[in-house]
């Protein structure tokens, strides 16, 4: 069950950043990819570029998840849709943002896994890749986002136990800062979001797709549990950036 044995994949959050990079990479390997997100025009462009199949889906809509995904027979799930609204300290966060982030990153992710993972168990074949974050492993002064990714860490580890004895693999990818649209959506103040990338060279979406592909391409007996990757010049610890030494 290395990559060559996998035929189909579902990528959530495929309309930009890490998800989009994964769709490109998987398509190049001949995988039939179902690419899901909310923005139709982005998915249409991706379908034209890669041959993937667009699945318009809001992962906060439980009914739509089961209606649209339960019958998809995919070998790979890249569980990636997510955002960081309410990134500021908890007591400053907008209550609606707290809900949006937890609903999207945790509840949506769990329903997506349930919807497609059931078939993987029945077929005794599959690979669930959860896109977590260093924020799920270490405190970063962001209770809402951190707890959402902490939940993904716990979910990934518990899934591994629940799936023991099957040939369904579970991998959690925990990136540090990646140059995507993430901070433009997370933070309303453009100066603050731009500041997230000052003073160091950020990871690129392709770096994360490389890590995903590495985990997928190992022989079936190997389960890559967690991959943590961060920019060389930066590490976890919040929005503050410490300039690299001269």
Ligand X SMILES: NC(=O)c1ccc[n+]([C@@H]2O[C@H](COP(=O)([O-])OP(=O)(O)OC[C@H]3O[C@@H](n4cnc5c(N)ncnc54)[C@H](OP(=O)(O)O)[C@@H]3O)[C@@H](O)[C@H]2O)c1
Q: Kindly list the catalytic residues.
A: 145
Tell whether residue 234 is a contact of ligand X (CB under 6 A): no
Tell whether residue 22 is a contact of ligand X (CB under 6 A): no
Task: Considering only the stretches 116-124, 154-162, 176-184, 231-239, report the one whose residues sit in contact with ligand X under the rule CB under 6 A.
Answer: 176-184
213: exposed, middle or buried (C-beta count within 10 Å: 0-12, 13-18, 19+)?
A: middle
Tell whether residue 127 is a contact of ligand X (CB under 6 A): no
Collapse the DSSP code of 139 into the 3-class scheme (helix H, G, I; strand E, B; otherwise coil) and give the result. Answer: coil
Tell whether residue 33 is a contact of ligand X (CB under 6 A): no
- Nearest distance from C-beta of residue 192 to ligand X, angstroms: 14
Out of 3, 13, 85, 144, point to the residue binding ligand X (CB under 6 A).
Answer: 13
What residues numbered 82-121 form the site for ligand X, per CB under 6 A?
Answer: 82-83, 104
Of 119 and 180, nearer to ligand X (C-beta) is 180
What residues numbered 52-71 form the site for ligand X, per CB under 6 A?
Answer: 57-60
Tell whether residue 178 is a contact of ligand X (CB under 6 A): yes
Among residues 207, 232, 229, 224, the alpha carbon closest in space to that of 172 is found at: 224
Among residues 185, 205, 203, 167, the alpha carbon closest in space to that of 78 is found at: 205
Tell whether residue 123 is a contact of ligand X (CB under 6 A): no
- Nearest distance from C-beta of residue 30 to ligand X, angstroms: 23
- Nearest distance from C-beta of residue 106 to ligand X, angstroms: 11
- Nearest distance from C-beta of residue 132 to ligand X, angstroms: 7
**Rule CB under 6 A: which residues touch ligand X?**
12-19, 37-39, 42, 57-60, 80-83, 104, 131, 133, 175, 177-178, 180-182, 185
């Amino acid at each position: 069950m290395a990559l060559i044995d996998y035929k189909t994949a579902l990528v959530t959050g495929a309309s930009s950043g890490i998800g989009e990079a994964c769709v490109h990479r998987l398509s190049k390997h001949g995988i039939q990819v179902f690419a899901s997100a909310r923005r139709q025009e982005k998915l249409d462009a991706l379908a034209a570029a890669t041959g993937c199949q667009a699945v318009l889906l809001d992962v906060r809509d439980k009914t739509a998840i089961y209606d649209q995904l339960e019958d998809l027979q995919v070998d790979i799930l890249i569980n990636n849709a997510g955002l960081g609204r309410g990134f500021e300290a908890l007591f400053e966060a907008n209550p609606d943002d707290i809900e949006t982030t937890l609903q999207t990153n945790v509840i949506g992710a769990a329903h997506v896994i349930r919807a497609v993972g059931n078939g993987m168990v029945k077929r005794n074949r599959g690979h669930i890749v959860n896109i977590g974050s260093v924020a799920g492993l270490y405190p970063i002064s962001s209770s809402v986002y951190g707890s959402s990714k902490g939940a993904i860490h716990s979910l990934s580890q518990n899934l591994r136990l629940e799936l023991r004895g099957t040939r369904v693999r579970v991998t959690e990818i925990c990136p540090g800062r990646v140059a995507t649209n993430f901070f433009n959506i997370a933070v309303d103040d453009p100066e603050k979001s731009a500041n997230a990338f000052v003073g160091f060279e950020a990871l690129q979406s392709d770096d994360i797709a490389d890590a995903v592909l590495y985990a997928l391409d190992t022989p079936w007996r190997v389960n890559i549990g967690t991959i943590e990757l961060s920019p060389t010049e930066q590490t976890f610890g919040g929005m503050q950036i410490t300039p690299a030494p001269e």
